[in-house]
């Protein structure tokens, strides 16, 4: 049985879903000869670790309890030591403990840090973990989009296969936000922009503050990861990003309540006019990233109705990849673009790939 020790950082929706996947797939992984041993779980304030990280992990009953506690909005610190089977550290102690585990388990065991947080504060720990020979799996995009740090759909795997085969990728255009994909496809049918955004919020597609999605920065981070994968030496500031709301409606200028009650509806006319102009030319509007050589920009584009992106409906992600072999008809990658379950499943698949790195 090949054992992969894990430290999970972040117990939000994706982190909890990942724990549930790990627990529910025990018998499947056993048939594959793999044991995922969760030796530590962190939230923003605490870390809980197994009493002996060398020989045991947190048991499944305790992992399930972690999910219950975090679902209620509580901190891991309320769990207690559970009869000596685990230890709990808080604040600065927790950072030191995580690094200490990495320094002892490190290079030979395949200790893997799984970052399911949405924080840039994990970057320092992740850098130390890499220096100590640990593996990293990220659902959190921020560490990969900080100034030149390091290099749901199987996009990166697909691109790596093209590049490894000597097929250079020269252009990518994609709808990389399930939220904005939904919004753009719905306004196409004549619904007011404000109504569609409100519906998306009610469906759970948007962040609590929809401006976190409408600003386009989440798409920009994904685009930056892909551009760097293709060799572009870009930082986030190098990407031109079109926000779907003006600066005067930003979170630092307008409250969420005012934005939802009045600010959002004031954007309807402008979006509706753009939809009509596109439609008159047989096109539709999509919020996309465009990576063309070393250039990258994010925003609304007019695209043909009969193109893969033009046919996009709902919250799916769609990526068109143009290379030497796919010059006239692009390689199209499409699938679910929103949901904790989909993201967690992708993270779990990446964790299992790590076993091939160790004998």
**Residues designated as active site:** 222
Helices (H) and strands (E) in the chain, counts: 14, 12
| E strand or H helix that includes residue 264 | none
Helices (H), the chain: 13-24, 26-31, 60-71, 91-109, 123-131, 142-145, 155-164, 178-187, 193-202, 211-214, 217-229, 256-258, 268-280, 340-353
What is the phi/psi pair of residue 179, to 5°? -65, -50
* Assigned token pair, 257: 């309540």
Q: What whole-number distance in Å separates Cα of residue 177 and Cα of residue 218?
A: 8
Kindly list the strands in the beta sheet with 2-9, ordered across the sheet, starting from the edge strand earlier in the chain. Answer: 86-90, 46-50, 34-42, 2-9, 112-115, 135-138
Would you tell me the crossing angle of helices 217-229 and 155-164 to the nearest 10 degrees? 20
Sign of CA dihedral 310, 312, 317, 322: negative
């Amino acid at each position: 049985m090949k054992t992969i020790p894990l430290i999970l950082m972040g117990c939000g929706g994706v982190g909890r879903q990942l724990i549930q996947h790990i627990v529910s797939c025990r018998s499947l992984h056993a048939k594959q000869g793999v044991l995922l041993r969760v030796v530590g779980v962190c939230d923003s304030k605490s870390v809980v670790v197994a009493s002996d990280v060398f020989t045991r992990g947190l048991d499944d009953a305790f992992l399930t309890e972690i999910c219950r506690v975090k679902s209620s909005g509580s901190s891991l610190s309320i769990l207690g030591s559970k009869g000596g089977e685990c230890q709990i550290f808080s604040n600065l102690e927790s950072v030191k403990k995580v690094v200490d585990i990495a320094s002892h388990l490190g290079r030979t065991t395949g200790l893997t840090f799984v970052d399911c947080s949405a924080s840039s504060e994990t970057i320092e720990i992740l850098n130390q973990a890499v220096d100590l020979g640990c593996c990293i799996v990220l659902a959190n995009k921020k560490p990969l989009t900080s100034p030149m740090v390091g290099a749901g759909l199987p996009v990166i795997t697909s691109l790596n296969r093209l590049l490894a085969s000597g097929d250079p990728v020269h252009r990518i255009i994609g709808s990389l936000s399930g939220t904005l994909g939904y919004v753009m496809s719905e306004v196409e049918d004549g619904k007011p922009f404000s109504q569609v955004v409100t519906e998306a919020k009610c469906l759970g597609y948007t962040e609590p503050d929809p401006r976190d999605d409408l600003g386009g920065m989440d798409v920009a981070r994904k685009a930056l990861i892909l551009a760097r994968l293709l060799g572009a030496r870009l930082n986030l500031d190098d990407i031109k990003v079109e926000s779907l709301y003006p600066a005067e409606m930003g979170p630092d200028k307008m409250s969420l309540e005012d934005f939802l009650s009045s600010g959002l509806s004031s954007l309807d006319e402008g979006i509706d006019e753009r939809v009509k102009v596109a439609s008159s030319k047989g096109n539709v509007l999509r919020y996309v990233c465009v990576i063309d050589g070393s250039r990258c920009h994010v925003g609304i584009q007019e695209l043909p109705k009969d193109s893969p992106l033009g046919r996009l409906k709902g919250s799916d992600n769609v990526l068109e990849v143009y290379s030497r072999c796919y010059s006239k008809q692009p390689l199209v990658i499409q699938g679910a673009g929103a949901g904790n379950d989909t993201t967690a499943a992708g993270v779990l698949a990446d964790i299992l790939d790590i076993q091939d790195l160790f004998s």
